[in-house]
Structure 1
Amino acid sequence: GNACVQHFKKNNWWVLSIDMAANETADANVLVEKDATWVDQETAVLSQVGSALSDSKVDAVICVAGGWAGGNAAKDLAKNSDLMWRQSVWTSAISAAIGANYLKPGGVLSLTGAKPALDATPGMIGYGLAKAAVHQLTKSLAAKDSGLPDDSLVVAILPVTLDTPMNRK
């Protein structure tokens, strides 16, 4: 997320960062309480985004939240799936709600899926489950009557491996 904020700021975009910690580079921040329920997170985020934007709308909503957990059905399936659901599905669905309420007509909503989730993911079932849900959400949001503004573009990037400090180790 930080690299995206830096990139957009370098290109003179106004940036609202939504995360569990404030981003000093962003123009404004919305802080998410990690342990709140999905409904409570969505309610709080939408309220804070509304306050930050006043009556303005945005050109793009870009969700790069996520994480990775491996594992198959033999150990910690529910635990890993729950974590992946929170990190990928909750954040994507909340981003969709932001788009429905604050995206300009013709704006862009970008979510983060995963190329491996197009196939079976036996060594990372929770991850595959969550990313497949993001793919479904993307298709549904791109369809007519999804609740997004007219002429919105909805995309999901499908990376294999993201260039992050953790993945470089």
Structure 2
Amino acid sequence: MRVAVYGGKGALGSTLVNHFKSKDWWVCSIDLRENPEADVNVVVKGATLEEQAAHVNKEVATLVTEKLDALYCVAGGWAGGDASHENFIKNTDLMMKQSIWTSVISANVAAKHLKEGGLLTLTGAEPCLEGTHFMIGYGLSKAAVHQLTASLAQKGGGLPEGAVVQCILPKTLDTPMNRKFMANADFTTRTPMSYISEMFTKWTEDPSSRHPNGALVKILTENSETKETVV
């Protein structure tokens, strides 16, 4: 398999890269920093969405010489604040760059470099199906990713023939950062990153295991048991 991970140096992205390499897959990492475990790296550059997209597309066109079986966008971050917060505008701008920009560029790359019948995954968030008054910027950026997923799945959305887009909606992943800042949390409700790795592997290797095109897939963990539910 030949795959690309947008956000390949982040917590989940690094887990994915390592997992796929353990299966002898060819992996391209796209991120602000190189991941030495990947076969090739695209280091994102540019101050605007247009500049970043142009740079990423140029690098991918050079490094990815064969069509991809899958592209997984797991780039993102978190920042809170309601409309009265002193950093409301700053945090909202950051969330748009980390979630919307990366998802839009991933869709653009997938349109050009996925195989027919390939897989594109985007990353939304389960809490953002409703209002998020304490993290408005985060909520609106993830809601935009949910909408992007629906648009890409429609006929004429631009993806290759037979390609499928899935948007995962985790609640809270069990990342080192979450453990650091949520030290007293109930970790039996945190979704292991290994679950995401295995799920993406299944979806990539076995197209029949995928959910319907455009699905928003809730990933919720209770009592250390994780389940997928289509919204």
Displacement of 1:65: 0.1
**Identity rate, percent:** 57
Alpha-carbon RMSD across the aligned residues, in angstroms, is: 0.8
Structure 1: gaps spanning 5 or more residues: none
Displacement of 1:13: 1.0
Displacement of 1:11: 1.4
Q: Which has the larger radius of gyration?
A: 2
String of CA shifts for 1:99-148, please: whole Å, max 9, x gaps.
Answer: 00000000000000000010110010000000000000001001110110
Residue from 167, 186, 196 that aligns with 1:156:
167
Segments of 4+ in structure 1 off by > 6 A?
Answer: none
Provide the residue aligned with 1:66 in structure 2.
Answer: 76
Residue from 91, 99, 103 that aligns with 1:92:
103
Provide the residue aligned with 2:60 in structure 1.
Answer: 49
Provide the residue aligned with 2:19 in structure 1.
Answer: 7
Provide the residue aligned with 1:23 in structure 2.
Answer: 35
SS at match of 1:158: strand
Displacement of 1:165: 1.2
Residue from 44, 60, 64 that aligns with 1:32:
44
Q: In 2, Cα distance between the equivalents of 1:163 and 1:88?
A: 19
String of CA shifts for 1:9-34, please: whole Å, max 9, x gaps.
Answer: 1111110000011101000000012x
Letter in 1 for 2:62: S
SS at match of 1:108: strand
Provide the residue aligned with 1:135 in structure 2.
Answer: 146
Ranked by relative contact order (alpha carbons within 8 Å, sequence separation 6 or more), the top structure is 1
Letter in 2 for 1:122: H
Aligned residues: 167
Structure 2: gaps spanning 5 or more residues: 1-12, 181-231
TM-score (norm 2): 0.71
Greater share of strand residues, 1 or 2?
2
SS at match of 1:136: helix
Provide the residue aligned with 2:221 in structure 1.
Answer: none
TM-score (norm 1): 0.97
SS at match of 2:29: strand
Q: In 2, Cα distance between the equivalents of 1:140 and 1:162?
A: 26
Q: In 1, Cα distance between the equivalents of 2:104 and 2:56?
A: 12
Letter in 1 for 2:161: D
